[in-house]
Structure 1
Amino acid sequence: MEYLNLIGGEWVASGSGNTTATRNPADNRETLGTVQESTSEDAIQAVEAAVAAQQDWRATPGPSRGAVLREVAQLLEARKPDLTETLVREEGKTRAEAAGEVQRAIDIFYYYASKAADLNGEVKASSSRDATLRTKVEPLGVVTAITPWNYPIAIPAWKVAPALAAGNVVVLKPASMAGAIAHDFARCLDDAGVPDGVFNVVTGSGSTVGDALVTDKRVDAVSFTGSEHVGNIVYQNAAPDQKRVQLEMGGKNPTVISDSADIDEAATIVGTGAFGTTGQSCTACSRAIVHEDVFDEFVATITNYAETLAVGPGVDDPDMGPQASETELESTLNYIEIGKREGATLETGGERLTEGDYAEGYFVEPTVFSDVEPDMRIAQEEIFGPVLAVIPVADFDEALDVANGVEQGLSASVVTDDLTEAHRFVDEIEAGVAKVNEKTTGLELHVPFGGMKASSSETYREQGDAGLNFYTITKTVYLNY
């Protein structure tokens, strides 16, 4: 199947005439279809379509916008089995993980469908007689959303739904690696009756399509999720026009294991955070920072946990699927070699799986390193694969220092039965998400999400009520009658 762009309500091929195949990472012989290698002219046409639709959608009452979003949610729900299948075969998630992600997209549209009716403002007491004082919330206008391949339906949903609920129009540039699920997602919005031009999708390279969408003067805001390197480029390119920018980038997420922790519980929390979604989550746990008194016990337990995981094609619903591409697999294998050279102890894993059902896919064993020093590259740099670095520390103070001793600050957790440690962790950890006795992954959709330090632009949060703030601007009204 050839997956087309959606521009102004029309499904169209790129002017380039070129396409890119999207393949099954569990079996690279299987091609799902081809996505457009779009040009900057395609991106400009999408912006033009959005601009043309802006005023009518802005003037549409909030409850009416909410009704359209509710229809989107219902279509996503009706098509959940097919969307799940596409996600499994294109991105490599296990069937359970893929179904969970599709459900998150459904829930997000239902959530913001209800929120659309509440976007109005506040009434304040005036200092004058015969006067009213109030605020009025208005949409920004044209929004560019740039999304990654690792959550290719949930992340577009949590950008697009609040943007549309607030009355904005959107041009989405999804990752080409996830072009099939992006197309099916867009088809749901189109079939639900989102007006022509209100929502547009253009696939292609970031350097061509992304750059055109970020630098177009008619674009009012850019919401980006992806790597720190690309995010910084997006920020710089948007700055000359003073566009509103929201960046959510990588993480080097720690879980601190206290000497008071139940080690079996701790290993389960760390293991699900480290190896779920094949470690390909920006919130995945990549560092376990463990008190020296329980270090050996934890290493043995987490090693056993990793060795018992079933790895296989996502369609079989194993514990862990493949990496999403050959490039991602090669990066992970390279970091494993770096860990060995740095002197860390490889406890388990570390090898590509190539026999039998693994022969045509991008599979790697769940990998655990112990005796990792905090300044090693495998303890400092985001790997984005199923690799866990276990770091020993002498006490809780050192654990906090090590946890905070990286450039990123996205998600962090602690496993402890000590209430003082729990409160200190929440107060002192440098991360946008702090969890106690929970894995670093997994987010509630009605509360803010975002990072600190190099993980984020530290401007606006996503999801919940905070997710609407990015897409709106406040006007203050003084009315003397």
Structure 2
Amino acid sequence: MLQPYKHEPFTDFTVEENQQAFRKAIQKVEASLGGHYPLIINGERVETEETITSVNPANKEEIVGTVGKASKSHAEQAIEAASTTFESWRKTNPEERANILVRAAAIARRRKHEFSALLVKEGGKPWKEADGDTAEAIDFMEYYARQMIELAHGKPVNSREGEQNRYIYTPTGVAVVISPWNFAFAIMAGTTVAPLVTGNTVLLKPASTTPVVAAKFVEVLEEAGVPKGVVNYVPGSGSEVGDYLVDHPKTSLVTFTGSRDVGTRLYERAAVVQKEQNHLKRVIVEMGGKDTVVVDKGADIDIAVEAITVSAFGFSGQKCSAGSRAVIHEDIYDKVLEKVIQQTEALTVGDPVEHGNYMGPVIDQAAFDKITSYITIGKEEGRLVAGGDSDDSKGYFIRPTVFADVDPNARLMQEEIFGPVLAISKASNFDEALDIANNTEYGLTGAVITNNREHIEQAKQDFHVGNLYFNRNCTGAIVGYHPFGGFKMSGTDSKAGGPDYLVLHMQAKTISEMY
């Protein structure tokens, strides 16, 4: 019997022994750089004419590996394999499906530092961020395994005399999983194993910037006992392969994490009923945020400063949950701003292979160009008080950047930048602060730093976000503790890592039998 769920502990890198173990893992990963990973369709390795090259964003000359690039023909083969395999997989005992996740979690746990080191190289993640990413991937597997066992018998409903009624959940079919690069292990793994454990078959199309960690994870699933055809690995172009899979009449479920523009387009495409399609597709999308840390009058200033800087600059601000905005009460605005500047300027930026670097690079040239263009915009919209410098000569490095005195309706306060750029606005009272916090099209996360109980209760009702935190940063949701998903244009609020998530991958079925 499975033990009760408890999240995977984070590694304490203040312990020298742990530092040595992690450096050894980095060396192991470095020795394997440049490998090739073909497509995996129906359990078979499939070579392709074209490939995708994964590059270390901290060192553009270093190739992490190459992966096969799927064509529409490959996508069709994969979806046919998944559709055929579904007929047997859906009938597999739910506990056995759950056991596969537990075994996969155990394998990943034994190789924890290795996966984290790969995230350092492929995703540009500092040690702490990489370790948290791997821990979250393990958490998703452990948590969803237990959730599936709970759901295996359905939910209780009433029966009448002479009649027995049951309410059970049944798989939906073929799931297309389009995973992001920023949590290249955690979200990729979570969105893959959720449909898998619920009896669906999966086509995994990982982000083209971080496909190697996905290939390594599929190998883990194979080692854990996933049958051929249940998970098919098909990296490729979003406009070619991604759209083809979303449109396909045999696709039953689409799960996507990424930008608002791509997410809304996929949502629309999935709504179209194709020729020979005999069902309506389910869609789970998580599309980002423009998240705010609100600092109230009388708040603990040190807590506020820590919350603002951690939220804004953890993993270079490349989180949908990143607190890229701070709204501070005018009475303490100057004092908080001064300390935010000091803390920001103390942050170290460099190759994440080195333990001492708080921030690494941003993910690629396109991200670098976008973020630096917003810094240019920020110089017109606000007062540059920290950072603003960038260098892409070797890797894609941008100093953590702070703009003060920004108008709440400025582009810097409204548009998702997805980089280490923080915009700060002033509010004359708590009501105004909440109004500013709610004035974007997003509603993912938010934080309120306050000692005012009345304001805490007010924010619970009026701060319109899916994940609301008090007196802490607005990032770092833990599976099973902080189910994650947002309101408005942040997505379908599907609450990954929560008690309702697996049900979204299944159909409820009522069975009534007369005696």
Q: Same fold (TM over 0.5)?
A: yes
Conservation of the 8 A alpha-carbon contact between 1:115 and 1:165: no
User: Which among 481, 484, 497 is matched to residue 449 of structure 1?
Assistant: 484
- How far 1:461 sits from its partner (Å)? 3.0
Partner of 1:283: 321
Q: Which letter does structure 2 place at the counterpart of 1:215?
A: D
**Gap runs ≥5 in structure 2:** 1-34, 274-279
Conservation of the 8 A alpha-carbon contact between 1:280 and 1:386: yes
Partner of 2:174: 142
- DSSP-derived class of the 1:213 partner: helix
User: Which among 405, 415, 420 is matched to residue 449 of structure 2?
Assistant: 415
Conservation of the 8 A alpha-carbon contact between 2:345 and 2:386: yes
- How far 1:480 sits from its partner (Å)? 0.8
Query: 1 CA distance for matches of 2:314 and 2:500?
Result: 27
- How far 1:193 sits from its partner (Å)? 1.2
Q: TM-score, normalised by structure 2?
A: 0.90
- How far 1:376 sits from its partner (Å)? 0.7
Partner of 1:403: 437
- How far 1:20 sits from its partner (Å)? 2.2
Query: 1 CA distance for matches of 2:492 and 2:97?
Result: 29
User: Which among 467, 473, 478 is matched to residue 439 of structure 1?
Assistant: 473
User: Which among 475, 485, 495 is matched to residue 461 of structure 1?
Assistant: 495
Partner of 1:324: 363
| Range 286-295 or range 463-472, more displaced | 463-472
Residues 351-370 of structure 1 correspond to what in structure 2 (within 5 A)? Answer: 351-353=389-391, 359-370=393-404
- How far 1:81 sits from its partner (Å)? 2.0
Query: 1 CA distance for matches of 2:117 and 2:157?
Result: 51
The alignment covers a number of residue pairs equal to 472
Q: Which letter does structure 2 place at the counterpart of 1:125?
A: N
Query: 2 CA distance for matches of 1:83 and 1:180?
Result: 10
Q: Which letter does structure 2 place at the counterpart of 1:124?
A: V
Partner of 1:124: 157
User: Residues 206-263 of structure 1, C-alpha deviation per residue, up to 9 Å, x if partnerless?
Assistant: 1011111101111101011100100111011110133111111010000100011111
- How far 1:92 sits from its partner (Å)? 0.2
Partner of 1:44: 76
Conservation of the 8 A alpha-carbon contact between 1:448 and 1:466: no
Q: Which letter does structure 1 place at the counterpart of 2:40?
A: L
Q: Which letter does structure 1 place at the counterpart of 2:419?
A: G
Conservation of the 8 A alpha-carbon contact between 2:312 and 2:420: yes
Residues 242-321 of structure 1 correspond to what in structure 2 (within 5 A)? Answer: 242-317=280-355, 318-321=357-360
Aligned structure 1 segments of 4 or more residues deviating by more than 6 angstroms: none
Query: 2 CA distance for matches of 1:371 and 1:115?
Result: 47
Residue identity (%): 40
Q: Which letter does structure 2 place at the counterpart of 1:292?
A: E
Check 1:142–1:62 CA distance in 2 against 1; reply closer, same or farther (3 A cut): same
Residues 145-156 of structure 1 correspond to what in structure 2 (within 5 A)? Answer: 145-156=177-188
Residues 181-260 of structure 1 correspond to what in structure 2 (within 5 A)? Answer: 181-241=213-273, 242-260=280-298
- How far 1:37 sits from its partner (Å)? 2.4
User: Which among 116, 119, 142 is matched to residue 87 of structure 1?
Assistant: 119
User: Residues 276-307 of structure 1, C-alpha deviation per residue, up to 9 Å, x if partnerless?
Assistant: 01100000000000000000001100000100
- DSSP-derived class of the 1:290 partner: strand
RMSD over aligned Cα, in angstroms? 1.2
Query: 2 CA distance for matches of 1:188 and 1:311?
Result: 33
- DSSP-derived class of the 1:470 partner: helix
Q: Which letter does structure 2 place at the counterpart of 1:326?
A: Q
Query: 2 CA distance for matches of 1:27 and 1:195?
Result: 37
Q: Which letter does structure 1 place at the counterpart of 2:73?
A: E
Residues 169-180 of structure 1 correspond to what in structure 2 (within 5 A)? Answer: 169-180=201-212
Conservation of the 8 A alpha-carbon contact between 2:485 and 2:492: no
Q: Which letter does structure 1 place at the counterpart of 2:101?
A: L
Query: 2 CA distance for matches of 1:116 and 1:236?
Result: 30
User: Which among 350, 354, 360 is matched to residue 388 of structure 2?
Assistant: 350
- How far 1:53 sits from its partner (Å)? 1.0
Conservation of the 8 A alpha-carbon contact between 1:62 and 1:118: no
- How far 1:3 sits from its partner (Å)? 1.8
Q: Say yes or no: does 1:158 pair with 2:190.
A: yes
